[in-house]
Structure 1
């Protein structure tokens, strides 16, 4: 399958500690690819290198064949590479709906000239953004709390809102960082369902870091296993969970 993300022989060290060690991965376009590994394997660092929060010491990151290694997170966002965070980054004093409406870039109301001299254009654009935000908040199952302050939402609802914010842009790839953390089982089912729908109905590609192995098993194929900053193996979750080296490194010597 055609790769949408390629990480090519990337290295990253902090002081004298090499965290990512000559690491190469590919994420196929249209896939939901999982990434697992023991604590300290380098998962979060590799995520940050792909998202642009960190720059590699060597190696390259490509998006649809384009070298984006030197681009800022903002520039990558404009190219359709988005990420969510383990701890939701909502605007707590704005409503859930307003949080979604904040996402689209380059809105005409952001410039003083357009606000003063082209108010009709601003109103029309705002109405379109609001219409889209209402569609998205209904899609993710939060319509009933659309006017609630985002800071008052439950942890699971905030994760759904994070996922919804990716839908307010022309996303190509979404990096999901521990999206199941702190989410109850009911809302986790909603999250999994929404991710599958975005993948199947809208063509989103996902790269998922997750400790919840049930979620990985339900969502991801293939699964990449990192250990000591390098790829240990890649394959279907059944093969991963039955690999003796993975069991030793990730499960502490036990498949339980």
Structure 2
């Protein structure tokens, strides 16, 4: 099976600084691929290029075999490539269920003429969207906050809402950007369990930037290591943790006793 996502020899420069240097990697369809590396490794810049927030200086990015570099985020969204953020981007003054209902594009109620002259169509579509939102809420078991203002939620609950929003459309791949940041361990366990369920039961493909090695170890195989804008190594987490070059990249040649269990935990 061809990879769902391919990055081929991609470089991104900011003036005289090269943030990503001739980077190549693949993400297999139906898997959960991890991307780790010390701060400044180029991970977020790479994600921003894949998600359409930045254009590469050179190289190719292919999604389902078609070049996508230069496409805008909304165009990639329409193709099924979605991205969550380290800091959740919720509509704080809308409820959780309303946040979910905002996701699907092309809603007839967005068109003034449709709203005036095809009110029945608008209402029927809204019912369908609400039903889907309720299904998502039930799947993620967040019914207790369904009618809470999203701005009132904890950081971890907001991350769950971000994940829920990806379920409101037919996502083919979801880029998860530090889903564990600022989340307590109990809620993080719930998030991880839902990612596993989405992958197993609904065939979601995930590409994950993460510093939490426990989460990476639970979810991801393979794991890709970046340092200084380049891919250093791809393999299982155990293989990567045993690689002296990776340890040196994280700890500057002075590995601690935590190197075999927490590579990158402090990055």
Q: TM-score, normalised by structure 1?
A: 0.98
Instruction: Please list every run of 5 or more consecutive structure 1 residues that lacks an aligned counterpart in the other structure.
Output: none
Task: Give the alignment of 1:26-105 within 5 angstroms.
Answer: 26-105=26-105
Do residues 111 (structure 1) and 98 (structure 2) align? no
Instruction: Please list every run of 5 or more consecutive structure 2 residues that lacks an aligned counterpart in the other structure.
Output: 259-267
Shift of 1:70: 1.9
Specify the alignment match of 2:231 in structure 1.
231
For residues 50 and 62 of structure 2, the distance between their equivalents in structure 1, rounded to whole angstroms, comes to 9
Specify the alignment match of 2:200 in structure 1.
200
Shift of 1:250: 1.8
Contact 2:54 2:70 (8 Å CA) reproduced: no
Q: CA RMSD in A?
A: 0.8
3-state DSSP of counterpart to 2:4: strand
Contact 1:34 1:210 (8 Å CA) reproduced: yes
3-state DSSP of counterpart to 1:19: strand
Post-superposition CA distance 1:159-206 (Å, at most 9, x none): 000000000011000000001001011110000000001111111100
Shift of 1:208: 0.2
Contact 2:23 2:230 (8 Å CA) reproduced: yes
Specify the alignment match of 1:219 in structure 2.
219
Shift of 1:157: 0.3
Specify the alignment match of 2:158 in structure 1.
158
Shift of 1:251: 3.9
Contact 1:88 1:158 (8 Å CA) reproduced: yes
The number of residue pairs the alignment matches comes to 256
Ranges of 4+ aligned residues in structure 1 off by more than 3 Å: none
3-state DSSP of counterpart to 1:3: coil
Shift of 1:142: 1.2
For residues 2 and 182 of structure 2, the distance between their equivalents in structure 1, rounded to whole angstroms, comes to 34
For residues 250 and 175 of structure 1, the distance between their equivalents in structure 2, rounded to whole angstroms, comes to 23
